[in-house]
Structure 1
Amino acid sequence: MAEIQPVRGWRYNPTLSTTIDAYVSPLFDVVSAKQREALYQNPLNSIHLTVPRTDAPAAAGLLAEWKTTGVLRQDALPGIYAYYQYFRLPGSTREYCRKGFMCHIRAYDWDENVVLRHENTLPASVNDRAELLARTQFQTSATHGLYRDDDFELETYLDEAMLSPLYETVEDYQGARDVLAVIQDAAIIQRFQAVLAGREVILADGHHRYEGSLAYRQARELAADGTATGREPWNYHLMYLTNAAADDLRILPTHRLLLEMPNGGTVADLVRELEPYFVVQPKEDANDLPDIIAGKQWAFGLYAAGQAYKLRLRPEAHALLNWPTTDEVKALDLTVLHFFVFQQVLGVMGADAQRAWLGVAYVRSLLDCLQRVDRGEAVAAFIVNEVTMAEVEAVCHSGAVMPPKSTFFYPKTIGGFLFTSIADDETGNPFVEFFQAPALSA
C-alpha cells in the first residue's frame, strides 16, 4: 500500500554535527515563544528554517546561503535513515528506546486510505506549512507515522545500522537522546519498501505538515496541466516511521483546563449538573487522581475550588451520546468528556464549536493544572487517562477522527536532525530507477 523511497539527506556539516544539540529545535507546533527566542540567538539553528522569524522568502534565502557556504551538505548516496530516541518517563527509571527510520513516503490523499489521520487540522497552520514548503522545497522535520509489523523484521536492520551512528544529541529539549544512522545497502532498502508496500500508515504527529505537503503537491499537479508523471519529487513527504507493535511507543494524556464557565455558573453548579451523568465522589488529594482513574473506562478526575473528585460515567448514560460519529469514537473517554461535560453541562454545542472554543486549554502536566486552578487562572481541571494505541488504530480504521488534542505521542521528533529536498535538481541519483520496481511484495 504505502510507497516509500530512500533519500539523499541534507545534514549539518561534519564539524557542526559534532555539537548537533546546538542546531536542533522543537517542532513548529510545540515550540514555545520563549524557546523560539532563545534558539533564534544561534544564527545556524534549524529554527530559522522550521519556524522563520520573518517569512517564508527569508527562510528560502537563508537556506540557499547555508547550502552555498556548506553549513548544510547533501549525502552523496540515497539511504534510509535509522532514528532512535532514548527517553525516560517521569517517575520511572526505565529507559525506553523508540526505534524508527526516516524516508520519503508518497503524499497520499486521505481518501486513498493509505495514510490515515486521527485528528482534524486548522487551515491557517496548513497554509503556513504549504507556503514554507513552496518557497524552500525543503523538508526540515519529519512527521511521525505508524505501521504495524508484529514480526519486527525491520528492527534487525535498524539495530545493525545503529552500530555505526552518524551523530547523536546529548539531550534534546524534552530530555531525550536522539541517534541517527543510515542504511545504504540497496537490497535492504528494497526490503523496507516491500514491508511498507503491504501496510497502511497511521499519522501520529504532523497532520498540518503532511497536509501542507498535500496542498503543495496538488498545486504542482494543477500547474503541470496533465503532464505530471507521479514520480516528481514534490509527490513525496519526509516521514519518521515507527512500529505500532513496539512497547516503546508512548502516548501521554492531555488534560483539559476549564478557563471559564460559559453559562455563568459556579463550581457548585458544575458539580451538581454533572451528577445526572456521572457518579461523583470527593477525594482527599488531587495528586492521586491519575492513579484513581487509571485503567477505568469513562473515568476522570476533577479539581475545582480546592476539592478533588473522581467522576465515572453512569453506564446507562452512554446511550445519550448522539454525535454523528463511529462507535469507535463514541467509546473514547475523551468523547464522553467532551459530550457530557462540555456540551451537556457547559452548553458548548457540538464538536466543531468545541474545537474553536477558547474557554478550554490543553495541558499535559498534572501539577500545572492543579496550580493554575489554585491561582485562579482556571475554574477547574479535568484529569484524563491516556489514549491507547489500540484505540488510535480502531478510530483510524473506522474513518473518523478523535476529539482535539486526544494524543500526545512522546517523545516528539526534532527539527534539524535530517533535512530532505523535493527540488528537481537535488533529488536525482544514479539509483533512482532501482528503487522503483513495479512489484514490491511483502
Structure 2
Amino acid sequence: MVEVSPFRGWRYDVSQVGDLSDVVTPPYDVIDSKFQDQLYKKHPCNFIRLELNRVEPADPDPKARYDRAAEFIKHWMIDGVLLQEQEDAIYVYSQEFKWEGKTFVRGGFLARVRLEEFGTGNVYPHEQTLSGPKQDRLSLIRATRANLSPIFGLYPDETGSLQKGLDDACIKLTPSLAKDHLGVIHRVWVIKDHALIGKVKAELRDKPVFIADGHHRYETALNYRKELTAAGELTDDLAAPNFVLMQLVGMQDPGLQILPTHRIVSGLPADLTSQQVVDALKSCCEIDVLEQGDKGAQEAWELIEADGGQDVFGFGTAADGKWLFVRVTDPSLMESLAADHSEDWQSLGVSLLHKLLLEELLFKKLGGTPQFEYVHRLEETTAALNAKTHQLGCLVAPASIEHVQTIAANRETMPPKSTYFYPKLLSGLVVHSLS
C-alpha cells in the first residue's frame, strides 16, 4: 500500500526574496562548479546554499559545507525567508517546456510518501545507484534535517482523472511561478481542501509508484530513517523521517517525456575508424554506412527514431568522421552476458549497447581504457567528435515508460543512465522538514 499524505511545507516568502526565479535551483546532480558560482551570485538566498553548498578555502574539513547549509536553513526559517504553511497541504506542480519545437506541460503534485524498503512494498526503483552520491546526500540530510528536493515518482492514471481533479481545483487559485535557466516555466498551487486530499490518498493507496528520478535521494531517506531508528530517536510512526518528499505524475500524462541519453567515449585509440567498428560488430549486426559529419549523425538519428525499436544504434568515429546505422540481428549472446537478468532487461537498448556491442565486441578488440560521458542532444555528440575530445559517439533510443514499468515491476533495475526525464524538478519550491 502506498501512503500519500499532505504536510506543512516550507516555501520562500516572495515579499522578502522577490522573484522566485532568482532563488530556486535545479537538483544537485546537474550543477557543475561554474553554474554553482552563477547561482551563488544570483541572489543571497538562492537555494544552492542548501542544495549544493560549495567548498570554501578556509573549510577545516569536508563536513563544513554541510554545516553551513544547516545554518542557512535554520536562519532562513527564523528570519522568515522560508515560511511554513499554516495547515497541511499538497502542492500541484506543473512544468511548461519546449522540446524540438513543441510545447509540453507536465502535471503532477508534491506530497509526502511513506518510505518503503525496495522489494517490500509498492514503491519501485528502476535504475542502479552509486555509493558516492548517497553518502553526499546523507551528510546533507543529517545536517539540514529536511528533504530539500523532491523524488520524481510515477503512478498509473489511465484516465487522467486524478490529475484533472487537482487541475480543476487550481483554476481559481494563484500559482507561485518561476522560470529556470532553460526557459522551463514552473507553477505551484497550494491545495488545502481536505476532501480532495482524501480522494487523492484513497486513489493512490493501491497503485504502484515507480521512481523516475531521485533514486539516490530515496535510498538516502531510507538510510537516514534507519540511523534514527537505531539511535532510538524515531519512535513515532507518523514522524516526518518516515516519509519523503515526492512529485507524483501520472504515467499517461501527455507532458511526460523520456529523452535519449547518448554516449560519447574517450580513452580509445585515437585512430579508431568506422571500418574497425564494422569489423567488430558485423558478426551479430546489420550495418549501413552513412554520410560523414553532422549530416551523417542526423541521418542515423532519424533512422533510429523512424524505426522505434530498442535494437538500433548510431555509431560515429572522430578519426574519419563517418557514421554507421547499426541493427542488432543476433542478440543471442545476451543470454550468457546478462544471464542474471530478464529477457525484458536484455532487450533494452542501453543493455544491448553496453553489454554486447561495446564491452563484448568492440572494447575487447580495441583495448584502451574507455570512459563515458552522457549527453542528450545530437549536437552535443557531434561537437565532441568534431573536436576530437572523444573517439566514439553512440546514439541510442530512449527507453519507454512501458519499459520502466515492466522492468521495475520485475524488481529489476535498468543500467545507469537508461532514462532522462526532462525537465528536472526544481529544488526550493517546497521543503519537507524532518525535524
Provide TM-score, normalisation by structure 1: 0.89
Look up the match of 1:432: none
Using the aligned pairs only, state the percent identity.
29
Tell me: CA distance 1:316–1:5, structure 2 relative to 1, closer, same or farther (3 Å).
Answer: closer
- 2:15 aligns with 15
Give the CA deviation at 1:86: 0.8
1:231 aligns with 2:238: yes
**Residue from 295, 320, 332 that aligns with 2:348:** 332
Contact 1:88 1:95 in 2 (8 A): yes
Larger displacement relative to structure 2 (256-265 or 273-282): 256-265
Distance 2:270 2:384 in 1: 21
Aligned residues between the structures: 412
Change (3 A) 1:321 1:306: farther
Residue aligned with 1:214, SS? helix
SS at match of 1:146: strand
In structure 2, which of residues 312, 320, 334 is the aligned counterpart of residue 299 of structure 1? 312
Please state how far the C-alpha of 1:268 moved relative to its aligned partner: 3.4
- Secondary structure of 2:30's counterpart equals coil
Question: 2:110 maps to which residue?
Answer: 102
Secondary structure in 2 matching 1:88: strand
CA distance 1:210–1:48, shift in 2 (3 Å): same
- Contact 2:280 2:362 survives alignment (8 Å): no
> Amino acid of the residue matched to residue 391 of structure 1?
H
Separation in 2, partners of 1:52, 1:201: 31
Give the Cα separation in 2 of the matches to 1:276 and 1:39. 50
Indicate the residue corresponding to 2:409 in structure 1. 397
Q: Which runs of 5+ in 1 are unaligned?
A: 350-356, 424-442
Structure 1 contact 262–346 (Cα < 8 Å) conserved: no
After superposition, the C-alpha distances for 1:177-209 in whole angstroms (9 at most, x for unaligned) are: 100001101111111111111111100000111
* Structure 2 Cα separation of the partners of residues 262 and 203 of structure 1: 38
Residue-by-residue CA offset, 1:82-110 (whole Å, 9 max, x unaligned): 001111112x2x32111100011011110
Counterpart-to-counterpart distance in 2, 1:343 and 1:264: 19
Aligned match of 1:364: 376
For 1:128, the aligned partner's letter is: D
Runs of 4+ in 1 over 3 A off after TM superposition: 262-268, 315-322, 346-349
* Larger deviation, residues 316-325 vs 337-346: 316-325
Partner-residue secondary structure (3-state), 1:87: strand
Deviations 1:9-50 (A, max 9, x none): 111113146510000101011112221110011221001001
Write the deviation string for residues 344-396 of structure 1: whole angstroms up to 9, x where unpaired: 123479xxxxxxx8611111121111111121101110111111000110110
Q: Are 1:249 and 2:256 matched, yes or no?
A: yes
Query: 402-411 or 337-346, which moves further after superposition?
Result: 337-346
In 2: Cα distance, 1:339 partner to 1:399 partner = 20
Q: Aligned pair 1:71/2:81, yes or no? A: yes
Q: Distance in 1 between matches of 2:301 and 2:405?
A: 24
Residue from 152, 165, 174 that aligns with 1:165: 174
Shift of 1:153: 2.3
Q: Which position in structure 2 is the counterpart of 1:378?
A: 390
Mapped pair 1:258 → 2:299: no
Distance 2:88 2:370 in 1: 46
Deviation at 1:166, TM superposition (A): 3.2
Give the Cα separation in 1 of the matches to 2:223 and 2:209: 19
The equivalences for 1:210-221 within 5 A come to: 210-221=218-229
CA deviation after TM superposition for structure 1 residue 341, in Å: 1.8
Moved more, 1-10 or 156-165: 156-165
Cα displacement string for residues 250-306 of structure 1 (whole angstroms, at most 9, x for unaligned residues): 000000111122799655323211111211111122222211111134000111121
Partner of 2:324: 309
Please tell me whether the aligned partners of residues 104 and 238 of structure 1 are also in contact (alpha carbons under 8 angstroms): yes
TM score, norm. by length of structure 2: 0.90
Which residue is 2:277 aligned to?
Answer: 270
CA distance in structure 2 between the partners assigned to 1:145 and 1:102 by the alignment: 10
The 1-side partners of 2:87 and 2:111 are apart by: 13
Residue of structure 2 equivalent to 1:25: 25
Instruction: Tell me if structure 2 keeps the 8 A contact 1:85–1:178.
Output: yes
Change over 3 Å in CA distance of 1:348–1:43 after alignment to 2: farther
Tell me the residue number matched to 1:47: 48
Contact 1:328–1:398, Cα closer than 8 Å, also in 2: no
Quote the residue 1:289 is aligned against.
Answer: 300
**How many angstroms does 1:60 deviate by?**
0.6
Cα distance in 2 between the residues matched to 1:373 and 1:65: 48
TM-fit CA distance, 1:316: 5.8
Q: What's 1:86 paired with?
A: 96
2:287 is matched with 280
Aligned to 1:191: 199
* 2-structure distance, mates of 1:348, 1:139: 44
Superposition pairs of residues 134-145 of structure 1, within 5 angstroms = 134-145=142-153
CA contact (8 A) 1:303 1:380 kept: yes
Q: Which runs of 5+ in 2 are unaligned?
A: 56-64
Residues 207-265 of structure 1: CA deviation (Å, up to 9, x unaligned): 1111111110010111118x724222111100000000222110000001111227996
Structure 2: distance between partners of 1:191 and 1:334: 39
1:415 corresponds to 2:423:
no
Aligned with 1:60 (options 67, 70, 92): 70
- Secondary structure of the residue that 2:26 maps to in structure 1? coil
Residues 50-96 of structure 1, C-alpha deviation per residue, up to 9 Å, x if partnerless? 11114111111111111111111111011010001111112x2x321
Matched, 1:342 2:358: yes
**Contact 2:274/2:323 (8 A) holds in 1:** no
What residue number does 1:34 align with? 34
Structure 2 CA distance for aligned equivalents of residues 153 and 320 of structure 1 = 41
